[in-house]
Chain A
Amino acid sequence: MKFVARCVSLVVIGMVAIMLSGGAAMAQEKMTMEDYNLQLADWQKREADAKAAIATTDAEIATLRQQISSTDQQASQTWQEVYGMLGTDEAGVASFRSQLDGLSAELDALAALSPEELYKRRAEIDGIEKRLMEMKGNKISWLTEMEDRMATLEGKIAQLRANMPKAIYDEYTVVRGDYLWRISGKQDIYSDPYAWYRLYSYNRDSIKDPDLIYPNQSLKVQREVGPDEYLVAKGDYLAKIAGNSAVYGDPTKWARIYEANKDLQGSDANRIYPYTVLRIPR
């Protein structure tokens, strides 16, 4: 009986050993032929599908390239026709654009100035505006791009004008013993006693009688002639002033100046003196 038990034990141990070694072998090579065939077929199908899709996409790409080229040519041809209608060509439009860029750069430079500096150089703004108006007479300005650019420039000009002070003046406080002749003769005022009329006419709203000014009275000392003002020089008369391009550029409009300055001139339109600050109604 002992022998039988030993034999059975040996057989069982043997079987277990064989099963274990077989299991280990299976763990090393998991893939069966069936799995292999399935995977191989799957990868082959993926490769074939991808290659077919590449061929289709290549054809689509070729068509797209052709369409892009054709659309590009059509657009170019249409622009040439537009330029022809305007009596210009691509170079003419480029030159116009470049001129606008130049004006824009000039306006940007002016925008970087202090308000006082800008005030002194306001004639440059007028010049730029004039050139812009001249450019509007060119048919190239009909192009939408140019319209947009010109509108931007007009906006910049308006912004500069809005930022510009309406007048540049210093304040002077009258002290005991002052009179206009004396004040205007001071070195930090006008260094010229004859310029007292400039002081008076510029402050005529607060000085009723040029012989009557009071201590602590505040006077404005005009430093720059504003856009709505005119400083009379020797030899000036109203028609001449009205004819000045910075005023109206039209001598026949002298009466407008006279009406606005009647408080100084009284009933005589010819009565104007050097150093008078005239108001120019716009």
Chain B
Amino acid sequence: MMQSARKIVSWVAVCAVVSSMSLIGCTKHPNEKQLQTLEETKQAALAAEAQLEQKRQEKATLESQLAQKKAQLEKAQAEKAKIAQKLGM
């Protein structure tokens, strides 16, 4: 009776230890080097996105400048037509 109880207890203990170990030890995690790679990739992506934002702003400014220049050209053309009419050309 005593012996079988000891066996049971021993088996339970072994099973408990094994299952606990497997529960923790089986999950894989990135190592330090991988984490560094991830951080570098993240910083590079953020830098590229910031640069893209700057380029978009520059493009918007240039679009506005182009609109102004086009308006100036239209004004000059209208002026030319008006003067031509006055001169009877």
Task: Give 1 or 0 for each of B46-80: 1 = CB within 8 Å of chain A CB.
Answer: 00110110011011001101100110110111011
Of chain A, the residue at the smallest CB distance from B21 is A18
Whether, in the assembled complex, A208 has its beta carbon less than 8 Å from a beta carbon of chain B, the answer is: no
Within the complex, the shortest CB–CB distance from B41 to chain A, in Å, comes to: 4
Interface pair A33/B79, CB less than 8 Å apart: no
Task: Give 1 or 0 for each of A56-82: 1 = CB within 8 Å of chain B CB.
Answer: 011011001101100110110011011
The residues of A that contact B73 with a CB separation of less than 8 Å are: 71, 74-75, 78
Interface pair B16/A15, CB less than 8 Å apart: yes
Instruction: Mark the stretch among A22-30, A199-207, A231-239, A273-281 that contacts chain B.
Output: A22-30
Tell whether A144 pairs with B30 under 8 Å between CB atoms, given A26-B24, A44-B41, A54-B48.
Answer: no
Whether, in the assembled complex, A212 has its beta carbon less than 8 Å from a beta carbon of chain B, the answer is: no
Interface pair A72/B69, CB less than 8 Å apart: yes
Question: Which 7 pairs between the two chains have the least Cβ-Cβ distance?
Answer: A22-B24, A50-B48, A47-B45, A78-B76, A18-B20, A7-B9, A64-B62
Of chain B, the residue at the smallest CB distance from A25 is B24
- Interface residue range, chain B: 35 or more
Give CA–CA (A82, B84) in the complex, Å: 8
Give CA–CA (A119, B88) in the complex, Å: 44
User: What count of chain A residues pass the 8 Å CB interface test?
Assistant: 51
Give CA–CA (A144, B86) in the complex, Å: 12
Which of B56, B69, B72, B80 is within 8 Å of A85, CB to CB? B80
Instruction: Mark the stretch among A35-43, A105-113, A163-171 that contacts chain B.
Output: A35-43
Interface pair B20/A54, CB less than 8 Å apart: no
Give CA–CA (A208, B20) in the complex, Å: 131
Whether, in the assembled complex, A255 has its beta carbon less than 8 Å from a beta carbon of chain B, the answer is: no
The residues of A that contact B80 with a CB separation of less than 8 Å are: 78, 81-82, 85
Within the complex, the shortest CB–CB distance from B59 to chain A, in Å, comes to: 5
The residues of A that contact B84 with a CB separation of less than 8 Å are: 85
The residues of B that contact A71 with a CB separation of less than 8 Å are: 66, 69-70, 72-73
Whether, in the assembled complex, A142 has its beta carbon less than 8 Å from a beta carbon of chain B, the answer is: yes
Interface pair A31/B30, CB less than 8 Å apart: yes
Write 10 A-B pairs (CB below 8 A) sorted by A numbering: A10-B13, A18-B21, A19-B20, A32-B28, A50-B45, A50-B49, A60-B59, A61-B59, A71-B72, A75-B76
Give CA–CA (A134, B56) in the complex, Å: 52
The residues of B that contact A86 with a CB separation of less than 8 Å are: 83
Give CA–CA (A212, B19) in the complex, Å: 137
The residues of B that contact A121 with a CB separation of less than 8 Å are: none
Whether, in the assembled complex, A260 has its beta carbon less than 8 Å from a beta carbon of chain B, the answer is: no
The residues of A that contact B30 with a CB separation of less than 8 Å are: 31, 33, 36
